[in-house]
Chains A and B, each alone.
Chain A
Amino acid sequence: MSQWMTLFNKEVLEMWRNFKWIWVPITFILLGVSEPLTSYYLPQIIKSVGGLPEGAIFEMPKPTAGAVLASGLSQYSTFGVLVIVLGTMGIIAGERKNGVAAMILVKPVSYFSYVTSKWAGSLLLVWISLFIGYISTWYYTGQLFDWVPIGEFFQSFALYGLWLTVILTVTVFFSAALLSPGLAGFISLALALIVSILSGALSHLLEWSPSQLTSYAGALLTGGKLPSDTMPASLTALLLIVLFLWFSVFLFKKKELAA
């Protein structure tokens, strides 16, 4: 356990030194907050730019607070995913490629701890960034539109967190299985995209797909009710996380460290 903590502390410290603790949360704030701001000010901007003919009555339905918050949240399933994958793809592959993994793993370090401490470090970053970004979005939405109940905020936060954790774990898996960070990132992104599109298109068949968690979170915010398929989708997500993490350790153990 103390060895795991040593490894984990190193991950946390590294993210301070390379400023991940600063730029990732800020990115998540900017991504989310831009949504309520633009929906609120867009009519004014259009009016002041004067793109409308004289005398035209400018009428734009004011979106509900839930819809604004939902679309702010949806930023995280696109740009947020991109940031997570690109930031995580080198986590193991990078260390193995440059040889530092061999320096560390000739010491009596457990492979399980090595992989899971890295995963846990990134996990912490993702959840904290998501929380900071999303609560800011919620606050801005409340200020400019209306207050969304805090319970709905937390539920939708958890669902998104779960989906982003799936993405993170898949990226860690490919980073452990492949020697190239770039390839690991590409495959993870492609996989996330395919699963999202497929689950979206076949939502009546794949209602248990973890990527559907994002639409269920949106449904909660706009409709006020959580779809009944949330439970199976969450369970699938949890199962995938455990499986991919386990396979990461398994595959990594089998690889020769010196290439």
Chain B
Amino acid sequence: MELLEGLNWGLIAPLFIIQLILLIVSFVDLSRIEKTNGPKLLWVFIIIFVTIIGPILYFVIGRRND
């Protein structure tokens, strides 16, 4: 708990918000897109469970443009 008190929330909170935006946006995109590289359900799990990196991974390699 001592650790949490030491945190500067003014700096940490924006990052949480950004991360949330990333999460939402990747879900919106996933719901719109027709095909992904690999099963769609897999990407749902990756986005939810792999913090931060999950949504980014989805955008970089999960999306299929053709």
Contacts and interface: CB of A to CB of B under 8 A. Distances in A.
> Is this pair of chains taken from one and the same complex?
yes
Nearest to B1: A48
A23 B8 contact: no
A143 B8 CA distance: 10
B11 A23 contact: no
Given A86-B60, A86-B61, A98-B66, A26 B3 contact: no
Contacts of A94: 65-66
Interface residues of A, number: 26
Contacts of B2: 48
Contact of A19 (B10, B12, B59): B59
Interface in A1-44: 18-20, 22-23, 26-27, 29-30, 33, 37, 41, 44
B61 A90 contact: no
Nearest to B33: A18
A45 interface: yes
Given A33-B15, A37-B11, A23 B3 contact: no
B21 A48 contact: no
A18 B29 contact: yes
Given A18-B29, A23-B55, A44-B3, A140 B11 contact: yes
A227 B7 CA distance: 37
B18 A23 contact: no
A37 B10 CA distance: 12
Interface in B27-66: 28-29, 52, 55-56, 59-61, 63, 65-66
Given A19-B25, A19-B59, A48-B3, A144 B65 contact: no
- Secondary structure class of chain B's binding surface, majority of residues: helix
B65 A23 contact: no
A4 B53 CA distance: 36
Contacts of A98: 65-66
B20 to A, nearest CB: 10
A97 interface: yes
Contacts of A143: 8, 10-11
B25 A44 contact: no
Interface of B: 2-3, 6-8, 10-12, 15, 18-19, 21-22, 25-26, 28-29, 52, 55-56, 59-61, 63, 65-66
Shortest beta-carbon contacts, A-B, top 9: A98-B66, A48-B3, A23-B59, A86-B60, A19-B25, A26-B22, A27-B56, A22-B25, A26-B18
Interface of A: 18-20, 22-23, 26-27, 29-30, 33, 37, 41, 44-45, 48, 82-83, 86-87, 90, 94, 97-98, 140, 143-144
Given A22-B25, A87-B60, 4 more contacts: A44-B3, A48-B2, A83-B60, A97-B66
